[in-house]
Amino acid sequence: MFSREESKALRKEFWISFGKSFPRKWILYNTKIKDFSFKFYFDKKKAMVMLDIEHQDLENRIKYYEKMESLKSVLKENYLPEAVYEDVHYLDNGKEISRIFVLKEGVSIHNKNTWQETMVFLNENMQKFEEFYLDFEDFIKA
């Protein structure tokens, strides 16, 4: 087991290493759509690349999720075949959001032997997600 400090240090080391291995500016929160953001996630059991739609206003959240839902076949056929759509997802703090993600299981931020495959997974899938977003940005924003 790792202490809280050791775990924090490993997380920091991973993300610094990832940034050095794949240096580029990701879109992430810079979608120009409020509460519509791309995220990386890596913990002790899995890694994920996500698009979170977190609008406080349920109507706006539904609007953007429905736009993404209408593009589901395009996303899955041409960009991310493993994409999972969740119209309702609860964050650890209880907040309800909508989420689209790709998942890699069997990796751990505490196991450096899984870091390289995780970095490749995160990089490749975020690139595909961003490519999809840029291809359909006008439609999504409209």
Topology of domain 4-141 in CATH is: Yope Regulator; Chain: A, (3.30.1460)
pLDDT in tens, 56-110: 889 999 999 999 999 999 999 999 999 999 999 999 999 999 999 999 999 999 9
Q: How far apart are CA 88 and CA 65, in angstroms?
A: 10
pTM of the model: 0.93
Q: How far apart are CA 122 and CA 30, in angstroms?
A: 18
For 115, the token pair is 């870091």
Question: What is residue 3's predicted lDDT score, i.e. its pLDDT?
Answer: 87
Question: What is residue 56's predicted lDDT score, i.e. its pLDDT?
Answer: 85
Q: How far apart are CA 33 and CA 3, in angstroms?
A: 38
Amino acid occupying residue 93 = N
pLDDT in tens, 3-35: 889 889 999 999 999 999 999 999 999 999 999
| Closest C-alpha to 101, from 77, 118, 85 | 85
Q: Are 96 and 47 in contact (CB under 8 A)?
A: no
pLDDT in tens, 34-49: 999 999 999 999 999 9
